Amino acid sequence: MSRQLAELETVLLQLIAEHEKLLRQLDAQQAAMKMLDVRAIEEAADQQEATRLRLTALETRRRAIVAQLAISLRMAGPATMVAIADAVPHARARLLELRNRLKAVIAQIASRTHVVSRLAGAVLGHLNTMVRLVAGAVEQAGLYTKHGVPQVSARIGVMEAVG
């Protein structure tokens, strides 16, 4: 059982490290989005995908270890970190500390992804408006005025731009 506890701690530390890496990648992606650097956005997305794959593998490994621990501890209810920590008093403090650190990093990621999704939505809305304006100008007869300015139909509202 002590081997399984050590393995669980190792996996939790790896999960924390990968989540922190994902957090840095999200920051890089957000900075690239602010600069509209498409190449940097794509690189950040590729890095995030690789990190997500590692996180999935680590999470699968963590679940297997928790299931083994639940069997060896003869746990009746669900095998949560708190239940495992309560069943193993000498490792309780360390397990709960790792759990809390992991939850804190995950909360930061959730916050950053919310900001990034809002930023992406705003940029997409602006691009959508520009495409509609250009398409509206191109499909009209008499494309340019005598001053060389394109004629644009009535202003497109937010609801029409987003579609």
Q: Please report, for the chain, the start and end positions of each structural domain, with discontinuous segments joined by +.
A: 2-162
- 20-53 pLDDT, tens digit per residue, is 999 999 999 888 888 888 899 899 999 999 999 9
Whole-structure pTM over 0.75, yes or no?
Answer: no
**Whole-Å CA distances, 49 to 3, 15, 25, 117:** 31, 15, 10, 16
| 144 φ, ψ (degrees, to nearest 5) | -125, 150
Q: Which residues of the chain have pLDDT under 50?
A: 163
